[in-house]
């Protein structure tokens, strides 16, 4: 198996996005390989979340193609799209848990939707998934409204990985979490990445998260991806946005932290 060269998991070519007269993406190209943890960064309004939504088919670009697992998202029929949806999971910024369902039912929903797994297997698998994200069975019967922000993120992550996806999208995974919770969330994603051989695409502003987690960084500026490379190469890339982003006070602190721990190693 190792000799096989995998095609890119995500391939974006010549993508254009327009909101009225406002052009957000212009001839944007990006490819994500298997096993990468890609951080998508860019200024506010640079269209990071829009790009993510286009990849998972929630929005359609004005022109250009998005292929995930070799399947063109814009031209997939409903069956192909459903097959794709089983292969990816998404963690929304605010969790997007179904507020009418308990924590347990939220995580069980994707498994129950397959309509063939026995209920006792679902029960054990859900509790196992909750355990993986650090939640005890005592939390399973709670309603999403009774959870703290960090717990909502964890439950949402458990739901995103419920069907063992190969590709995980994270929208601002650590926004709104305190530093300690962010760290443990980063560790959690790292361990899941190893345990499940995931490809991860995340949109985040948190420099610590980027340097602790990302094996690749794609910088969205000037309406396109200006560079996509390993973190240590990206920070030395000459571009005004990158200098401003990484070489401010916060950036330097996070960078020093990365070099000290040796995190953010290049991908295989």
Chain positions contacting another protein, by CB under 8 A: 86, 98-100, 104, 111, 114-118, 120-121, 123-125, 127-132, 137-138, 140-141, 143-145, 163-164, 195-196
- Interaxial angle between packed helices 119-132 and 149-160, expressed in degrees from 0 to 180 and rounded to the nearest 10: 130
* Residue among 72 and 124 whose Cβ is closer to another protein: 124
* Residue among 5 and 138 whose Cβ is closer to another protein: 138
DSSP 8-state assignment for residue 266: P
* Residue among 23 and 195 whose Cβ is closer to another protein: 195
Give the nearest distance from C-beta 8 to another protein in angstroms: 21
Give the nearest distance from C-beta 101 to another protein in angstroms: 9
* Residue among 132 and 226 whose Cβ is closer to another protein: 132
DSSP 8-state assignment for residue 7: P
CA 147 from chain centre, in angstroms, equals 22
Q: What are phi and psi of 62, to 5 degrees?
A: -65, -40
* Residue among 166 and 232 whose Cβ is closer to another protein: 166
Give the nearest distance from C-beta 128 to another protein in angstroms: 6
Give the nearest distance from C-beta 111 to another protein in angstroms: 8
Outline where DSSP puts E strands in 83-141. 88-91
Pairing of strands 199-203, 37-42: parallel
Ordered DSSP codes for 189-203:
HHHHHHHHT-EEEEE
Give the nearest distance from C-beta 198 to another protein in angstroms: 11
- Indicate the burial class of 202 (C-beta count within 10 angstroms; 0-12, 13-18, 19 or more): buried
Pairing of strands 10-19, 22-32: antiparallel
Pairing of strands 167-171, 216-221: unpaired
* Residue among 85 and 223 whose Cβ is closer to another protein: 85
Give the nearest distance from C-beta 81 to another protein in angstroms: 15
């Amino acid at each position: 198996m190792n000799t096989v060269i995998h095609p890119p998991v995500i391939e974006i070519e010549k993508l254009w996005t327009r909101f009225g007269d406002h052009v957000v993406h212009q001839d944007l190209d990006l490819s994500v390989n298997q096993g990468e943890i890609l951080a998508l960064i860019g200024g506010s309004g640079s269209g990071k979340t829009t790009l993510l939504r286009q990849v998972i088919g929630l929005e359609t670009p004005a022109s250009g193609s998005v292929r995930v697992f070799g399947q063109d998202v814009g031209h997939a029929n409903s069956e192909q799209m459903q097959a794709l949806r089983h292969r990816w999971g998404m963690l929304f910024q605010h969790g997007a848990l179904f507020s009418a369902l308990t924590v347990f039912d939220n995580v069980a929903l994707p498994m129950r939707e397959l309509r063939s797994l026995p209920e006792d297997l679902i029960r054990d698998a859900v509790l196992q998934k909750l355990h993986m994200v650090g939640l005890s069975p005592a939390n399973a019967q709670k309603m999403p409204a009774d959870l703290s922000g960090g717990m909502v993120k964890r439950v949402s992550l458990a739901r995103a990985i419920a069907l063992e996806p190969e590709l995980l999208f994270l929208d601002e995974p650590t926004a709104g979490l305190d530093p300690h919770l962010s760290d443990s969330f980063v560790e959690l994603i790292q361990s899941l990445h190893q345990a499940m051989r995931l490809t991860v695409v995340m949109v985040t502003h948190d420099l610590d998260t980027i340097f602790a987690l990302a094996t690749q960084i794609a910088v969205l500026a000037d309406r396109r991806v200006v560079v996509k490379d390993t973190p240590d190469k990206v920070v030395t890339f000459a571009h005004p946005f990158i200098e401003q982003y990484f070489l401010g006070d916060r950036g330097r602190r996070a960078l020093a932290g990365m070099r000290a721990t040796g995190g953010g190693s290049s991908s295989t």
